[in-house]
Amino acid sequence: MSTSVPLIVRLLSSSVSVANRAGKIVRDVMSKGELGIIEKGKDDYQTEADRSAQRCIIASLSAQYPKLNIIGEEDNPDNEGDVPSDWIVLESDKDVLSLECPVALKSVKEEDIVVWVDPLDGTSEYTQGFLEHVTVLIGISVNEKPVAGVIHQPYYKNLVGSEKKMGRTIWGLQEVGVGGYTPAPPPDSLVITTTRSHSNPVVEQALSVMNASQILRVGGAGYKVLQLLEGKASVYVFASSGCKKWDTCAPEAVLNAAGGKLTDILGNFYKYGASVSHPNKTGVLAAVNDELHSYALSRIPQELKEALSNK
């Protein structure tokens, strides 16, 4: 890999290749049928796929970028010794490697970067067979702000010639744009995407005030943002503290690069520095553009905002 290419572009190109390998690990674990499910908390599960995919991602990125600060969802995924050699990915995606780096990011050093990894977003859906909801997320932040990200869908079916190829990798880079999919405009009417399995009265109240024509209940923050990117939904509303920074860093970066916006329910941006707390305590509000985001934010009642911020 050419070291003349700015670090952010090299790291994003590496992350695309690593996400592809992690996606294969996720599929391999499922095909063997031994999911190795551990319940970390209420409705919070970890599988062998979570643990193995994270080992692959962290080992691969650390081998190439040893000074990176990488924060993964699974703390110490396991201590089974060395990571298998075929899990260490040192290749780069050539299309991403050829991108022009934004001027503001050209001089970024490894020490300035925090990488947020969710090795399997939508674990509950994975264990229940809703495989299209599953994503692998790698978010890259600089100065606490998401600037690049990868969303990989292990179970997306591509038709290549006469053969079906599994998996799709979508990327975004600040000021450059997005790749790996075909962007689409939002629906003609207001369609909201929200949680499939983590609802509560406050979540439902936030949905009811939107006057949406349709509500899509799906799993995983990555998959919800894909609903926005592909024109299946206009706004993503989740008025609860259920998700974490590794759930939203990559999706926010990709959505931003596509012209969208992701904040909390109060309209504030989350920070993704190394020392921030991991929970997104004040929910998620995302939209495909500023206008739809402003509309959705204006619909949230003040008492609901206060209820969420006081939790």
- Please tell me the distance from the alpha carbon of residue 214 to that of residue 212, in angstroms, as a whole number: 5
- 8 Å CB contact between 35 and 127: yes
Amino acid at 18: V
- 47, 118, 121, 123: the active-site residue: 123
- Count of residues in the chain: 311
123 in active site: yes
Three-class SS of residue 71?
A: strand
- Please tell me the distance from the alpha carbon of residue 60 to that of residue 98, in angstroms, as a whole number: 21
Helix or strand run (H / E) with residue 58: helix 48-64
Give the closest residue to 22 by CA, choosing from 71, 62, 55, 64: 55
Which residue is it, tokens 């998401």?
A: 146
- 47, 50, 247, 248: the active-site residue: 50
- 8 Å CB contact between 116 and 245: yes
Helix or strand run (H / E) with residue 296: helix 290-299
- Please tell me the distance from the alpha carbon of residue 105 to that of residue 249, in angstroms, as a whole number: 17
First to last CA, the chain: 47
Contacts of 248 (CB under 8 A, 6+ apart): 139, 221, 262, 270, 280, 284
86 in active site: no
**Residues labelled as active-site residues:** 50, 123
